Amino acid sequence: MAPEHRRAPVALPLVGDGPAALRADCANCFGLCCVALTFARSTDFAVDKAAGRPCTNLREDYRCGIHGDLRNKGFQGCTVYDCFGAGQHVSQHTFDGRSWREDKDAARQMFEVFPVMRQLHELLWYLTDALSRPRTAPITAELKQALAETERLAAGTPQAVADVDVAAHRQDVNVLLLRTSELVRKGNTGKKKQRRGADLVGARLRSADLKGADLRGAYLIGADLRDADLREADLIGADFRDTDLRGADLTDALFLTRSQVNAARGDARTKLPKILDRPSHWTQA
């Protein structure tokens, strides 16, 4: 019989199984984002919380007690966070179903591993996106190699994952992501489309032609992008907090994530990549 502090691991898709493994499955996670991370009282969080301390809203079954009302309760930050499936990976695979609550010896290491795993899964999301683009054929071999190496790092023992030099690995992967961006956006030129890291806070860009634009790391907080064309635009690291995306076309937007979409405002007319769900807080009209 298994020790009391252990749970039978749940059969989940492994990292190499594709997009399904990169989607958060909170039902098979031990609420790691609600415990391992730090909350700072702000417009995103109603309370301060130290890393390693459970959020007061976390229930005994590892579910959020106010999940359906997070925004109204002052926890908007929780609604835009995405672990890219790292939570269930750490819970069910890296730690074989052991919970931080039931195995105090594993808790410290689990909280250390989770942020690292989250970064690895984010890179897997970007690499998977890159490999899905026909125009990246010239670097397919390199992308597959980077994907395999990232999967290998994510599949390591708890200590091995904790010891990963994520910054160095991210730098190596970023070289390929930049090359991906160049290949996908090829032919889209013009000063208005080269806005990497640009300060576009509150910018009026309604109906703007930003197809294939380089918006990597751009600050688009509160910007008006209604009805804008963002197809094939590089959006990696772009800040979409409170960005108005009503009617915008992001069908083939490059490196777009759930966190970015959840942070923005949209409606039923906003076009998203098939892999991303429409946020429940977006207007339906």
Query: Helix or strand or coil: residue 256?
Result: coil
For residue 2, tell me if it sits in a domain: no
198 shares a domain with 171: no
For residue 30, tell me if it sits in a domain: yes
194 shares a domain with 179: no
Label residue 117 exposed, middle or buried (CB < 10 Å: 0-12, 13-18, 19+).
Answer: buried
213 shares a domain with 126: no
For 214, phi and psi rounded to 5 degrees? Answer: -95, 100
For residue 284, tell me if it sits in a domain: no
Q: pLDDT value at position 104? A: 82
pLDDT digits (tens, 9 = 90+) for 101-114: 888 888 999 999 99
Gap between the Cα atoms of 128 and 181, Å rounded: 13
83 shares a domain with 162: yes
Q: pLDDT value at position 44? A: 85
Instruction: Report the CATH number that the domain containing residue 214 is assigned in CATH.
Output: 2.160.20.80
What would the two tokens of residue 125 be? 């999301």
For residue 27, tell me if it sits in a domain: yes
Query: Helix or strand or coil: residue 143?
Result: helix
237 shares a domain with 172: no
140 shares a domain with 44: yes
Q: pLDDT value at position 11? A: 61
Q: pLDDT value at position 227? A: 98
Q: pLDDT value at position 9? A: 57
For residue 10, tell me if it sits in a domain: no
127 shares a domain with 87: yes
Q: pLDDT value at position 192? A: 80
156 shares a domain with 206: no
Q: pLDDT value at position 10? A: 60
For residue 23, tell me if it sits in a domain: yes
Question: Can you give the residue range of the structural domain that contains 53?
Answer: 15-183
- Cα 248 to Cα 186, 228, 265, 269, distances in angstroms: 21, 5, 10, 7
145 shares a domain with 194: no
pLDDT digits (tens, 9 = 90+) for 186-228: 988 777 889 999 999 999 999 999 999 999 999 999 999 999 9
Choosing from 183, 216, 231, the residue where a domain stops is 183
For residue 163, tell me if it sits in a domain: yes
Gap between the Cα atoms of 250 and 200, Å rounded: 18
Cβ-contact 234, 214 below 8 angstroms: yes
Question: Up-side HSE of residue 65: CA atoms within 13 Å toward CB?
Answer: 7
What would the two tokens of residue 79 be? 């609604």
Q: pLDDT value at position 15? A: 66
Choosing from 161, 183, 205, the residue where a domain stops is 183
For 14, phi and psi rounded to 5 degrees? Answer: -80, 165
246 shares a domain with 133: no
Cβ-contact 102, 27 below 8 angstroms: no
Q: How many domains does the chain have?
A: 2
Q: In angstroms, how far is CA 238 from the centroid of its own chain?
A: 12
203 shares a domain with 144: no
Residues of the chain with pLDDT under 50: 1-6
179 shares a domain with 40: yes
Q: pLDDT value at position 187? A: 82
For residue 236, tell me if it sits in a domain: yes
Choosing from 143, 158, 183, the residue where a domain stops is 183
